[in-house]
Amino acid sequence: MGAAKAGARPTKASARSVTAPPSHVLRNAVTWSLSVIAGETGEGNPPTGCVGSHQGCPQACARMPTRHASWSLPAVSARCRPSRQWRLLVLLVPLLGVALWALTAGLTARGDLLEVRAAVSDLREAPPETAGELRDRLASAAAAAHRARTALGRPGPSLVARLPYVGQPLAVERDLALLADELLGTATLVAAGLDGLEVGERVDTGAVQRIAAQLREAGEAIGPPSARLRVASLALLPAGTRAEISEIREQLVGLDRRLVDAAGAVSAVAGLLGAEGPRDLVVVLMNNAELRGSGGYAGSFALVRTERGRVSVQPFSDVNEVQDPAADARLVPAPESYASRWGVFLANSTLWKNTLMSADQPTSAGVTCAVVRLAPGAPCDAVVLLDVPVLARLVELSGPLDLGDGRPVAGGELVEALLVEAYAETGGTAGDQAGRRERLRKAADTAVQQLLGRGLDGVETLEVLAEAVRGRHAALWSSLPQEQSALQAAGLAGSVDPHGGDVNLVSVNQMSAGKLDYYVDRSVGLLAVVDGEQAQVTQKVTLTLDAPVGLPPYVLGVRGGRLVELMDIALAPDARDVVLRRDGRLQPVAPVVETGSLRVPVDVDLGDGDSVTFEVSYRVPLEDGAYRLRLLPQPLARDAVLHLAVVAAPGQVLRDGDVRYDGPFDRTRSIVARVR
């Protein structure tokens, strides 16, 4: 539009040009606003283009075509200045640019976060076989997380995320992106550190310590955003997006504490490998055919010396060769609760056979270490508990064993070979049984030598050991308080303390000196009905003895085939109104306290084909409205079956829905249920 003649009254068109800027001016204003926000220009001058000209406007502006005239508000007269609406539009344009920028970044980041979620799900469904594969599969997810973090960390989205209420959705996405980026970046570094790391006669403790440092650094970095996400509201997100973001949040929130715990545990493992100086460990092999609370009877052990990652293992020894007779057994220090429950069985003594009677593996391991210092009189500052199923899994990695008869035994066959065939093929004399025990020790020795000699892939070995720890088939204990605290925090120590919550733990100690536990089918059930103030809980345990005909006397035990056991059913420490039934009939109940929970002890006496069911009902008051439950399997040669249901009381709904599970009781689980 051209300029009006000097002195003439503004035409309607020129008057409209003051209040309604041409489209190219608005377009230029938007472009300028976005370029300034994006940092693409260092100047804050408005875009070119006069909004109109009339008498009193600068001549340069009046003469210059509107599309090319320069706009300088201070130089124009009051009559030439834009209207209030135009000034408001100029103010709103940058805000609109910021909003569009934030919206675009949010949508882009959402897509990247969904890519991260898909990648993590794929890793869970199809775990990598090597550290190199893990690193490669993490690469795309890590790149997506970094893109999301970068996009949401720019000035525009960051500004919007700081706004109260309306900025909350973007703030949630920003923190999720930060967490995902830190976690996946750390996972990539850890995978690179594990790539090429072998478990053998020598372990690179420097690499182990670097992994610990990386985990700790990541855990500390994501602490603040994780804390914000715990309390962040997702109410302003669209329903579909809310569900997706909520799922991602569930995967990520709380990992800061777990990373720090994992760092402490990895550092403790480096210490056990002699990173800071020589260490003396005892590896105890538990025999699941004759149960003890922590797993199985401690039949054999090996002394281990570590120094700067070099591992030296002595041959496994039979406890019968080092134990004292009952009459001469020497007592060792033990926690008061352990001594009061199990001292009558000389568990805390050099009798050796009963050191593992407590279901709490750290307690049993500590007592065992004290026994080793007296019999055989060896140094001990750490204990590794392993059972036959773990040995079998490790053999799957290292290759078949020759048990002395020229027949190679693969890992999947080892449990039955050692816990069934070895007994069935052995006579009942003392010499026969000594030969059987020698066979078990030889299997352990050969497996260990193959493990150390062949150098197994670090990731595969970690997967096997992690699975063993989750199923409580393996545990670590250290005499150094700092190491033990770290192992316990990471769940590697086998603690059964429910930390004030409810607990499902059925632990059996065999009292008939036989090997019939392999033939017991165990079913464990728990039903919890939760409202805002309490949970009504019923635990049920069914044991069925199904032994084959023709078992040798040594397997049948001193009761001629009757299985006599002492069984504990653990409950919440504040359980109220406890009622016990045996096959539906009321029984007297006298709970005892051990390792942070109540225990209901019951006597079991089964003949072949017999079955018995115990049912314990009680209520748990909920101080903060949350029902917390730990489910802890006793490590068996054959897994028990678990039937679990945590549901809301009639007329109420649990915040995260009912929890139901029917399947193998093969690992520990933790549940938190709240009424909505």
Which residues neighbour 85 within 8 Å (Cβ) at sequence distance 6 or greater? 19
Do the beta carbons of residue 270 and residue 213 sit within 8 Å?
A: no
Q: Which of 432, 451, 486 is the last residue of a domain?
A: 486
Same domain, 62 and 108: no
Q: Which of 461, 486, 511 is the last residue of a domain?
A: 486
**Rounded to an integer, what distance in angstroms lies between the CA atom of residue 390 and that of residue 495?**
18
pLDDT at site 93: 66
**Rounded to an integer, what distance in angstroms lies between the CA atom of residue 163 and that of residue 41?**
26
| Residue 481 structural domain | 279-486
Do the beta carbons of residue 295 and residue 286 sit within 8 Å?
A: yes
In a domain, 7, yes or no: no
Indicate the helix (H) or strand (E) that contains 505. Answer: strand 502-510
In a domain, 620, yes or no: yes
Same domain, 464 and 330: yes
In a domain, 131, yes or no: yes
Q: Is residue 393 exposed (0-12), middle (13-18) or buried (19+ Cβ within 10 Å)? A: buried
Q: Residue 557 has which token pair?
A: 């035990």
Indicate the helix (H) or strand (E) that contains 339. Answer: helix 336-342
Same domain, 395 and 434: yes
Same domain, 537 and 416: no
Structurally, how many domains does the chain consist of? 4
Q: Which of 486, 505, 534 is the last residue of a domain?
A: 486
In a domain, 532, yes or no: yes
Compute φ and ψ for 607, nearest 5 degrees.
Answer: -95, 170
Q: Residue 354 has which token pair?
A: 């009963």
In a domain, 571, yes or no: yes
First vs last Cα of the chain: how many Å apart?
Answer: 65
In a domain, 167, yes or no: yes
Same domain, 245 and 299: no
Do the beta carbons of residue 360 and residue 496 sit within 8 Å?
A: yes
pLDDT at site 427: 66
Same domain, 244 and 364: no
pLDDT at site 323: 96
CATH of the domain at 450: 3.40.630
pLDDT at site 302: 94
Residue 613 Ramachandran class (φ > 0 left, ψ -120 to 50 alpha, else beta): beta
Residue 130 Ramachandran class (φ > 0 left, ψ -120 to 50 alpha, else beta): beta
Mean pLDDT by 10 residues, the chain (676 residues): 43 41 45 43 44 44 44 46 62 70 80 84 77 83 90 85 79 85 87 79 91 91 84 74 74 82 95 97 95 95 96 92 96 96 97 97 98 98 96 88 79 86 72 76 82 74 91 98 96 95 98 95 99 96 96 91 97 98 97 95 97 99 94 97 98 94 97 92
Same domain, 265 and 288: no
Same domain, 480 and 510: no
In a domain, 31, yes or no: no
pLDDT at site 46: 46
pLDDT at site 74: 45
Same domain, 208 and 303: no
Same domain, 619 and 529: yes
CATH of the domain at 624: 2.60.40
Same domain, 447 and 303: yes
In a domain, 4, yes or no: no
Same domain, 358 and 413: yes
Nearest to 664 by CA among 626, 629, 636: 636
3-state secondary structure 133-195: HHHHHHHHHHHHHHHHHHHHCCHHHHHHHCCCCCCHHHHHHHHHHHHHHHHHHHHHHHHHHHC
At residue 539, what is the residue type? Answer: Q
